[in-house]
Every structure is written in C-alpha cells, then in structure tokens.
Amino acid sequence: MFRINAEVSDDFLLVLENLLGKIKTSDPQLIYISDKPNIKGEPANSLCGRTVEGLGLKNGDMLYVTYDQNTDAPTDKPSQPILASSVNGKQSVPMIPINVKDFEVPSGVGPMKVEQYPVDDLLEKEDGLIKRPMGHYCIHGPKGMCEYCSPLPPWDTNHRKENAIKHMSFQAHLKEINDLKNNRNNASSYIAPLDTPNYCIDLNCTNGHKPYPKGICSKCQPQPITLQLQKYRMVDHVEFADSSIMDRFIDSWRQTGIQRYGVLYGRYERFEKVPLGVKAVVEVIYEPPQAGEADGLTLLPWENEQQVDQLAKELGLYKVGVTFTDLTDSGNNDGSVLCKRHKDSYFLTNLEILMTARNQLLHRNPTKFEQSGYYSSKFVTCVISGGLEGEIEPRSYQVSLSAEALVKADIITASTQPSKLYINSSNDTRYVPDVQYLELNEYGLEVKTNAKPTFPVDFLLVSLSDSFPMDPKPMFSSTTDFTIENRDFMGELQDLHKVYQYLNNDTSGTGSQLFDFHFLVYLYKTGILGNEEFAMVLNFVKHHNYEDYLRLVESPGWMSLLTILEQSS
C-alpha cells in the first residue's frame, strides 16, 4: 500500500508519476486503476488529463492498481507485502490513499511542530523525482512512460554514481526512510523517520540494579557501535557569495604568515545540482578575537558575539559554519603553498574532527521528523589549505551523525597521529561499548574491524563541494573595504578616523558604503546612532530602499556621527 500526496487541482498524471516512482517497473500503458478491489477498472492513461478533484477523489480514498507482472524486472519486485489477490493472472496492489496536502495530521500522530530552516520547509514539499528523457529503449509514444524513462526517486543510487555525487542530500535521505517507515507499510501509526543514536550510558537507570558503575543492564548499556561512511550529508555545497570574501580572509595570512580563523555568516538555500540539495551561502567571514601563530591559533573570549549574531539576524543571516587557514608557503617564490592534506595524510586532523563535532552539537538542525525536534547539524567547517598543485583552496566538510554521538558520549579523543582517533576506556561515568568500523577489503567486500584502540578519522568525515558563483550578487557589495575586526596585530585598527576616511570614499551619494558587515558592526559598537536610526541602516542594507537612506542621512544621529567624525580627524 502506498500513500500518494496530491493537490486537489493536480492532474491525475502527477499521481500516476508518483506511483511509478514507487512500483518502479511498470509501463503506464499496462496499468489499470479501480476504486474497488478485485476489479480491473480503467486504463490509467485514460484518467490522465483530469484533476484529482475532477475524478471525485478525496483525501484518504483508496484506489486499486492492476498491472501486468510480466513487465516487471525480476529483481525489482516491490518488497512490501502485497495485500490484494490476483485478477485474471494480473497482480493487483492496493495503491494510495490519496493524501491531499492540506490534510492536518492529528497532533501526536504526525510530524511535530518545529521552526525549521526555510530551505527545509521548501524542499519538504517537493518529491525531488529525477526526471528522465525518453530513451533508446522506449517503445511508446511521446505521452507514454516506461521503466526506462519514468522518474527516479531522489535517493536513486545509480543516478548518484553516474553524476559523481558522493552523498545523497539530507532531504532525499529523509524521504527514503520516511518512505520505508511510513509509506510502505500501512501507515496507520506514524513513526518519526529520523532517529539520533545515543551512545551515553544512562547513569540514572535502576532497572533491578544500582546505577552505573555499580550495576548495568541491557536497558542502560549503549549498544555496540559500527562506524561507516555516512551516505547522506546535511549540506551538499558551500558557496562564497563573492570570491573577495575569501580573498580578504586569506590576505591576513599572506601579509603576516599567521593562521587565521573566521566565522561564516550566511544562509542555507536550495542547491540545484543535487536532488533536494542544500547549499550554505556565505555572505561574510567575521574574525573573532584570536591569537594566531604560523602553525596554529588559539581562540580568545568573544565578547560581542551576541551583538554580531543579532545584527546578522536582522539582515536575515546566521552562522552557517567556520573556516580556518592551514597554509605554509612552498618557498618557491611563486605564491604556491604546501599540499599537506591529501588522501595519504588527512583532510581534517583528529582535533579538527572533534572541534567540528562540538560545533555541530552546538548548532543543531531543527526538524519535524525527529522526536527531539533536532537532527544532526547544518554547520560546516571549511579548511583553506594547499591543493595538489600548490594552489590555495577551500575545502568544506561536516562530520557524521555518529561522530556527534561519539563526542557527546565522550568516547573519542585525539591520538598522537593526526589521522587517528583514540577510543577512551570505560570509567565511572562513561561506558564504552564495542566499536567497530566497516571498510572494503582488497576484494571489495565489507569487513568489520575493531576500532580500539585507534581508528582512521576518515570514517567520520563527510565532504562537501564548494564554489564561487559565476555571476556574484553579494549582499555586502561596498565598493571599498572597511577594516576587518580584530586585526590589530597586523597594524589594522578600526577607529573613527577609519570611519571618516571610509565614508568619504563614497562620492556617489548612494550609500554604497553601508554595504559592509564589518563596518556595520563597528558603527553599531560606537553607539552614536540611535536604535531607530540604526534600524534605518539595516533596512536600507536589507531592502535597498533608497528612501531609507535619505531619511537616515537627515536624521539627528547621522548628523552627530558626521560632527564627531570631523572632530576626530
């Protein structure tokens, strides 16, 4: 039994397309649809061109599908129980019920109410079916459809292989397990499709025993863990809204040889190149207080973090990840750098894996489809280091859901080898179960290897693609750059004199200088503009409404800013 979602106004063709994604194999020309069991009904094609409403179908209606078994590829049989009997040697499968989208799921039965990222709200409503053109083997007319040209589900493995997509998108993964858990069986009771593993021992369990470490039972003891490469990713791609964002960040290393750390502010958007994909679009790299060295750095307390978050929020931005440099000049005097990170060393060190997991645990991904309201994270980690040709290149990663759970349960720590993580031993507050990892041996077979005492960090890594847009439209488009924060160590100070010079660069009178996040944060910090006046600034930056700018420059706050700037210069 399958549930097919449709709008009342949808053509029945869409319902049929949806069904084909589920039964996969049949030629629609040979499908018959009936509203009664054991009756062959009408050819499916004859119902196309009419709407769901037009056919008199309502939410929850059951339809019965009959199709010729002979057209099924033998390996592709539907795996779910087939409930109906045979009619004239044809197989009859109860299909649907039609699930009209404005149907309200009874509370406590369906997905919970959580404020998700807008991109998830958007993608959730789409089926993500991968359309295929009519091909070589199709023997039907232009309106027909067969197993060679029917759309594929967004989680289709072959499509991923053919397009070199390493991981499926989160939404495709979600739809696949939702399909397994809720659509394929008789969905009378809803099961939250996502499930976060918990590797922590329950220290409060007294199920016939004293709490751990004095006692333990099968209920409070975490299950053995098997690590494997995660087949989906929460974010597929990282896009820097403009290459200058990255360039200015790397510039601090170019000028000083000191490594740099930055926080990525931006938003999550649809990524078209992957079915139901998501990209993190980075609009600004904010550089929090830090003490850098040539071979690493230490983060210092970041006092105005909330203020920066708030300003970003008012502009529709939030933290989407972090970035840091790991750059060493090659000594060839040609701007090239050493390639330290590759398949024979590591892509992220064990310490970076741990940091990434902690960051992900701090920035959880809200979702309706996990009982807790959260599942994993969309927080990305971008390393800027040397590529194989000695070029400077950003590479973006996440760690897996298992990595988050291992860190949360305090099971892993860094070993002396950057490419290996160490499995802690059990103690009074920590019970460490057996940990194994799955890898392919030389014959291509999966083998389980004991992960104790150390295991390769790669098993926890998820890699993302990244790019700069062909036609950049960055939010912060100021024609000149204001000094970046916390760069005193390289002789770059943010002060009123800098503001004076910076604003005087704008001879056009269009207010273009306001389109610089580093400037906005500094301007806010000075406290010279009143709240209302600052709101005009943000409004102007957000909506490009020139009226806001004109009102701003006539406001008393702006006048006093100009007076103060004159005096300080």
3-state SS class at 350: helix
CB 77, min distance to Zn ion, A: 20
Segment interacting with Zn ion, rule: CB under 5 A, options 105-113, 142-150, 405-413, 504-512: 142-150
Residue 219 or 544: the one with the smaller Cβ distance to Zn ion is 219
Contact predicate 437/423, CB 8 Å: no
Residue 70 or 255: the one with the smaller Cβ distance to Zn ion is 70
- Applying the rule CB under 5 A, the residues between 442 and 461 that interact with Zn ion are none
CB 221, min distance to Zn ion, A: 7
Residue 148 or 190: the one with the smaller Cβ distance to Zn ion is 148
Residue 138 or 503: the one with the smaller Cβ distance to Zn ion is 138
Contact predicate 391/338, CB 8 Å: no
CB 4, min distance to Zn ion, A: 21
Q: Is 109 exposed, middle or buried (0-12, 13-18, 19+ CB in 10 A)?
A: exposed
- Applying the rule CB under 5 A, the residues between 38 and 67 that interact with Zn ion are none
CB 205, min distance to Zn ion, A: 3
- 23 touches Zn ion by CB under 5 A: no
Question: What is d(CA 146, CA 391) in angstroms, rounded to the nearest whole number?
Answer: 48
One of 8, 82, 114, 149 touching Zn ion (CB under 5 A): 149
CB 222, min distance to Zn ion, A: 11
One of 14, 130, 146, 382 touching Zn ion (CB under 5 A): 146
Answer whether the bond into residue 153 is a cis peptide, omega within 30°: no
CB 17, min distance to Zn ion, A: 13
- What is the number of alpha carbons within 13 Å of residue 164 lying toward its C-beta? 1
Segment interacting with Zn ion, rule: CB under 5 A, options 37-45, 135-143, 308-316, 342-350: 135-143
CB 134, min distance to Zn ion, A: 5
Site size for Zn ion (CB under 5 A): 9
Q: Strand pairing of 232-233 and 454-456?
A: unpaired
3-state SS class at 328: coil
Which DSSP string do the residues of 456-500 spell out, in sequence order?
Answer: EGGGGEEEEEEE--SS---S---SSPPPPTT-GGGT----HHHHH
Residue 101 or 219: the one with the smaller Cβ distance to Zn ion is 219
The distance in angstroms from the start CA to the end CA of the chain is 76
Which DSSP string do the residues of 162-199 spell out, in sequence order?
Answer: HTT-SSEEHHHHHHHHHIIIIISS-TTS---SB-----
Reported residue count of the chain is: 569
Q: Is 71 exposed, middle or buried (0-12, 13-18, 19+ CB in 10 A)?
A: middle
Residue 14 or 462: the one with the smaller Cβ distance to Zn ion is 14
- 138 touches Zn ion by CB under 5 A: yes
CB 392, min distance to Zn ion, A: 47
CB 211, min distance to Zn ion, A: 8
Residue 336 or 426: the one with the smaller Cβ distance to Zn ion is 426
Q: Strand pairing of 461-467 and 237-240?
A: parallel
Question: What is d(CA 71, CA 24) in angstroms, rounded to the nearest whole number?
Answer: 11
Q: Which two tokens stand for residue 389?
A: 């040709």
Segment interacting with Zn ion, rule: CB under 5 A, options 8-16, 139-147, 168-176, 263-271: 139-147
Q: Which two tokens stand for residue 27?
A: 């030629």
Question: What is d(CA 490, CA 501) in angstroms, rounded to the nearest whole number?
Answer: 19
CB 133, min distance to Zn ion, A: 9
Residue 148 or 374: the one with the smaller Cβ distance to Zn ion is 148
- Applying the rule CB under 5 A, the residues between 351 and 390 that interact with Zn ion are none
Residue 146 or 284: the one with the smaller Cβ distance to Zn ion is 146
Residue 346 or 431: the one with the smaller Cβ distance to Zn ion is 431
CB 25, min distance to Zn ion, A: 12
Residue 30 or 361: the one with the smaller Cβ distance to Zn ion is 30
Contact predicate 156/130, CB 8 Å: yes
Helix 531-543 and helix 517-526: axis angle, to 10°? 170
Segment interacting with Zn ion, rule: CB under 5 A, options 137-145, 298-306, 333-341, 545-553: 137-145
Please, which residues have CB within 8 angstroms of residue 512's CB and are 6 or more apart in sequence? Answer: 477, 478, 479, 506
Residue 137 or 443: the one with the smaller Cβ distance to Zn ion is 137
CB 39, min distance to Zn ion, A: 28
CB 137, min distance to Zn ion, A: 7
SS3 string, 248-291, reads: HHHHHHHHHCCCCEEEEEEEEEEECCCCCEEEEEEEEEECCCEE
- 168 touches Zn ion by CB under 5 A: no
Segment interacting with Zn ion, rule: CB under 5 A, options 136-144, 290-298, 334-342, 524-532: 136-144
- 563 touches Zn ion by CB under 5 A: no
Cβ-based neighbour number of residue 567 at 10 Å: 9
- Applying the rule CB under 5 A, the residues between 192 and 231 that interact with Zn ion are 205, 207, 217, 219-220
Q: Is 158 exposed, middle or buried (0-12, 13-18, 19+ CB in 10 A)?
A: exposed
3-state SS class at 13: helix
Residue 139 or 438: the one with the smaller Cβ distance to Zn ion is 139
Residue 147 or 481: the one with the smaller Cβ distance to Zn ion is 147
CB 435, min distance to Zn ion, A: 20
- 148 touches Zn ion by CB under 5 A: yes
- Ramachandran area for residue 471 (φ above 0: left; ψ -120 to 50: alpha; else beta): beta
Site of interaction with Zn ion (CB under 5 A): 138, 146, 148-149, 205, 207, 217, 219-220
